[in-house]
Amino acid sequence: MMAALNSTARYRWMVASRVLASVVGGYALTSAATVLLALIWPLPQAEAVAAATMLSFTLYTGVILWIFAVKRLRTLWLGLVIATAFCAGLSWVLLPGGVA
């Protein structure tokens, strides 16, 4: 009885971690990637921002699908952190006046 209870609790924590990753981590990665796309797209600034924002809805959906497809939670969280840090860091470097 106790083993089944621990198994159920573990499963629920794993699902809760994926939901948290999709809501918080997915949003952070999508917003960082959207900023990066708006900076590197060879369009006028307003059009680049609009195009990157429209693409962000598809990107967010893809990130959520990836989050629930990954087998290991460690891979999931590490991938989210590294990808978000990469996009945010590159965006910071590319921003006009970003690097002092």
How does pLDDT run across 48-99, given as a tens digit for each residue?
999 999 999 999 999 999 999 999 989 999 999 999 999 999 999 988 776 5
6-50 residue pLDDT tens: 788 888 898 999 999 999 999 999 999 999 999 999 999 999 999
Six-digit token pair at 63? Answer: 């990130």
Which residue type does 65 have? Answer: L
DSSP codes, 10-43 = HHHHHHHHHHHIIIIIHHHHHHHHHHHHHHHSSS
The span from the CA of 99 to the CA of 40, in Å, is 16
The span from the CA of 85 to the CA of 77, in Å, is 12
